[in-house]
Amino acid sequence: MSTSPSEQFEPQVNPGEGVEALTFQKDNGSEPASQAEFVQLFTRSQRRLYLYILSQVPHPVEAEEILQEANVIAWTKSSQYRSGSNFFAWVCQIAHLEILKHRSRQKRTKLRFSDEFIEQVASEVVEQVDELESRRLALKHCLGKLRDKDRDLIESRYAPGERGKDLASQIGRPANSVYQSLGRIRRTLMECIQRQLAVEFH
């Protein structure tokens, strides 16, 4: 039975291994994608990849942070991508591992999802692109409604490489105070997003 290019080059990773273990099945002498092909596929995948991540983490701003981390890894691993294979499946595998790393760092937070739940959502997310895009637009709208100092705080918190304790030190506030403010801003954003979606879908 013949197989499609995407089936021939599905990413393979063993349980417990990280992104460094990500490899491809090589068949029929397939060549790595050209830089032009990779750039085109990478650019086209960004919205879908963000929505894929957003479906598995509780906060849109965290999804954006994970997206950027996954993008950096995808670029460093670009030579492993084989021309004609399923690019979205490949980059989702990278993003999935970054999501698991993120969840490991967030174990002390109260809001947690089981691994089984994450896997189920991941398998269905592609069918939810329209709804998730609405959430992204709602988030953009709600960020614009925040007070300037609140928007600056949450944008600073989720800047690449930023950590809560470092941010507290930079702005001269106690860490607990900063975490409380971030929690309040997140709740405000989630309530605003829910209101926006209620208006859109009713």
Kindly write down the DSSP assignment for every residue of 66-124, as one continuous string.
Answer: HHHHHHHHHHHTGGGPBTTS-HHHHHHHHHHHHHHHHHHHTTTSS----HHHHHHHHHH
Q: How confident is the model at residue 147 (pLDDT cuts 50, 70, 90)?
A: very high
On whether the CB atoms of residues 56 and 118 are closer than 8 A, the answer is yes
Assess whether pLDDT exceeds 70 at residue 120. no
How high is the pLDDT of residue 28?
Answer: 39
Local structure of residue 167 (DSSP, 8 states): H
Assess whether pLDDT exceeds 70 at residue 13. no
Lowest mean pLDDT among 56-60, 72-76, 158-162: 158-162
d(CA 161, CA 50): 18
Rounded to 5 degrees, what angle do the CA atoms 140, 94, 28 make?
130
Lowest mean pLDDT among 6-15, 65-74, 110-119: 6-15
Tell me the pLDDT tens digit for each residue of 16-32: 444 444 444 344 356 88
Terminal-residue alpha carbon distance, the chain: 48
59, HSE (Cβ side, Cα atoms, 13 Å): 23
Look at 200 and 38; give whichever has higher pLDDT.
38
Rg of the chain taking only CA atoms, in angstroms? 19
31, HSE (Cβ side, Cα atoms, 13 Å): 5
Q: How confident is the model at residue 124 (pLDDT cuts 50, 70, 90)?
A: low
Helix (H, G, I), strand (E, B) or coil at 63: helix
Quote the tokens at residue 60: 């849109």
Q: Output the average pLDDT for the chain.
A: 76
d(CA 80, CA 74): 9
Q: How far is CA 168 from the centre of its chain?
A: 25
On whether the CB atoms of residues 128 and 51 are closer than 8 A, the answer is yes
Local structure of residue 15 (DSSP, 8 states): T
On whether the CB atoms of residues 32 and 80 are closer than 8 A, the answer is yes
